[in-house]
Amino acid sequence: MSAEDISIPNPVPGLSIYRLTESSTDFCGVYEPSVCFILNGSKLVSTGGDVIQYAENSYLITAIGMPMSGWARSASATDPYIAMLLRLDLELIRRLIVEYDMDHAVAPASGPMVGHLSERLVGLLHELILLDPDNPEFQFMHRHIQTEIFYRLLVTPQGRQLRDFALADTTSHRITTAVNFIRDNYSSTLSVKQLADLSRMGVSTFHNHFKTLTGMSPGQLQQQIRLHHARAKLLSSERDIASVALSVGYESQSQFSREFRRLFGHSPSEILKRTRANR
Q: What percent of the chain has pLDDT over 70?
A: 94
CATH number at residue 193: 1.10.10
Shared domain for 135 and 194, answered yes or no, is no
Decide: 199 and 177 in contact? Cβ < 8 Å: yes
CATH number at residue 49: 2.60.120.810
Shared domain for 154 and 54, answered yes or no, is yes
Mean pLDDT of all residues in 125-151: 97
Shared domain for 203 and 85, answered yes or no, is no
Shared domain for 62 and 173, answered yes or no, is no
Question: Which of residues 130, 146, 164 is at a domain's end?
Answer: 164
Shared domain for 142 and 43, answered yes or no, is yes
Shared domain for 194 and 156, answered yes or no, is no
Shared domain for 76 and 14, answered yes or no, is yes
The answer to whether residue 45 sits within a structural domain is: yes
* Distance from chain centroid for Cα 160: 19
Decide: 60 and 112 in contact? Cβ < 8 Å: yes
- Whether 2 shows a pLDDT value over 60: the answer reads no
Shared domain for 44 and 112, answered yes or no, is yes
For residue 1, the model assigns a pLDDT of 42
**pLDDT tier at 22 (50, 70, 90 boundaries)?**
confident
For residue 279, the model assigns a pLDDT of 63
The answer to whether residue 108 sits within a structural domain is: yes
- Whether 110 shows a pLDDT value over 70: the answer reads no
Question: 109 is in which domain, residue-wise?
Answer: 6-164
For residue 71, the model assigns a pLDDT of 86
CATH number at residue 253: 1.10.10.60
Q: What angle do CA 61, 67, 70 make, to 5 degrees?
A: 70
Burial (Cβ within 10 Å: 0-12, 13-18, ≥19) of residue 93: buried
- How many domains does the structure of the chain reveal? 3
Rounded CA gap, 268 and 128, in Å?
A: 39
**pLDDT tier at 253 (50, 70, 90 boundaries)?**
very high
Shared domain for 74 and 185, answered yes or no, is no
Shared domain for 26 and 122, answered yes or no, is yes
Question: Which of residues 121, 136, 164 is at a domain's end?
Answer: 164
Rounded CA gap, 89 and 57, in Å?
A: 22
Shared domain for 24 and 155, answered yes or no, is yes
Shared domain for 149 and 62, answered yes or no, is yes
The helix/strand count (H/E) of the chain reads as 11, 10
Mean pLDDT of the chain: 91
How many of the other CB atoms lie within 10 Å of CB of 134? 7
Specify the amino acid at residue 201.
M
